[in-house]
Amino acid sequence: MAAILVTGAAGQIGSELVAALRQKHGAAAVIASDVRIPITQPAGDAGPFEPLDCTRPDQVQDVVRRHSITAIYHLAALLSAVAEEKPQAAWSLNVGGLYTVLETARQYHCAVFFPSSIGAFGPTTPRDRTPQDTVQRPTTMYGITKVTGEMLGDYYARRFGLDVRGLRFPGLISHVAPPGGGTTDYAVEIFYQAIRYRHYTCFLRPDTTLDMMYMPDAIRAILELMTADPAKLAHRNAFNITAMNFSPEQLAAAIRQQIPDFRIEYEIDLARQAIADSWPRSIDDSAARQEWGWTPRYDLAAMTKDMLEKLGAKLKPAR
Ligand SMILES: NC(=O)c1ccc[n+]([C@@H]2O[C@H](COP(=O)([O-])OP(=O)(O)OC[C@H]3O[C@@H](n4cnc5c(N)ncnc54)[C@H](O)[C@@H]3O)[C@@H](O)[C@H]2O)c1
């Protein structure tokens, strides 16, 4: 039976993507994999799991061969803040791991999904409504690995006819798995702290405006892109997509609509602030809208309401 492989499946996106893919294709058809074994699997997520280090060609090939994999959703990566702390490890996983996945996909004729990021842009990119095709000279190791990944994906598509598709995600907000060390993690942490303590100390400046997206939209975007008619995809890889745009002070105001005594303070982390300052303030996702019909469903108010409801059901306020 043909099967799908998800790498980095224990992470923030994988924890929800695996469940969505299993709902669509059946649990047995989706092989979750990660270098770490998840302690608990989210409800409805029961299905095959393979321990897998993406930087090991032998391991990737073995899993792809044994499970007759036809599509790889390659999520394993070091995120922006961690990648700046460990640039050598970031290159090795983000580029080396992707290269291993693409080479295996070439040999076994698999489709590949690869998530890029707004981090693939840099300070010389137009910062407002950043176009789909524009200057990409990122100054972070994360961004450099993402641009490399986008170009490798395009190369494998053009040179070997591989079906490589991808999205440039903005910051992702979710309540199932914690974020993995990105610059936009504040937009998740703030909800946990708002419910528990009615207070949050933010590591970005109050006016740091970035694009964001709620995880249900991100998962739907992946599924829609991977089933889009290839004849309509002029870009295929590295589509800009976005759903909402806000700063920490605007997110705090949205939370205050539901929790009136919520307070926010700021202790700026210079490293993460520098990363955020090198990224676009907003991106233009019209190519995704035109080529495969992308439309977000959650704006700031709808996401905030849903996050507080979902987390409120599982967290208790601290006394
Ligand atoms: N979360 C976001 O806001 C966001 C935004 C833009 C792009 N992305 C991209 O989406 C992808 C997934 O992001 P995420 O937020 O789920 O990340 P995450 O950090 O939550 O998860 C990554 C997973 O990869 C695993 N991993 C680490 N080294 C590995 C290895 N050698 N082999 C196999 N697995 C390994 C980790 O254990 C972890 O479970 C990444 O490529 C990331 O750059 C994420």
| CA 8 / ligand 1 centre spacing (Å) | 6
pTM: 0.97
For strands 199-202 and 263-266, give the pairing.
parallel
Q: How confident is the model at residue 1, as a pLDDT?
A: 72
Q: Active-site residue 108, yes or no?
A: no
Contact 1, 66 (CB under 8 A): no
Q: How confident is the model at residue 46, as a pLDDT?
A: 84
Instruction: For ligand 1, atom 11, name the residue with the nearest CA.
Output: 75
In this structure, what token pair is assigned to residue 117?
Answer: 């990021």
Secondary structure of residue 8 in the 3-state scheme: coil
Ligand 1: atom nearest CA of 14 is 16
Q: How confident is the model at residue 39, as a pLDDT?
A: 65
**pLDDT tens track for 186-219:** 999 999 999 999 999 999 999 999 999 999 999 9
Q: Is 278's C-beta closer than 6 angstroms to any atom of ligand 1?
A: no
Strand ordering across the sheet containing 30-34: 49-51, 30-34, 3-7, 69-74, 111-117, 164-169, 239-240
Ligand 1: atom nearest CA of 146 is 43
Q: How confident is the model at residue 42, as a pLDDT?
A: 56
Stretches where the chain sits below pLDDT 70 are 39-45
Ligand 1: atom nearest CA of 9 is 39
Of 284, 279, 278, give the one whose Cα is nearest residue 132. 284
Q: Is 10's C-beta closer than 6 angstroms to any atom of ligand 1?
A: yes
Q: How confident is the model at residue 44, as a pLDDT?
A: 52
Q: Is 291's C-beta closer than 6 angstroms to any atom of ligand 1?
A: no
- Distances in whole angstroms, Cα of residue 291 to Cα of each of 129, 166, 235: 18, 13, 8
Distance in Å from the first CA to the final CA of the chain: 52
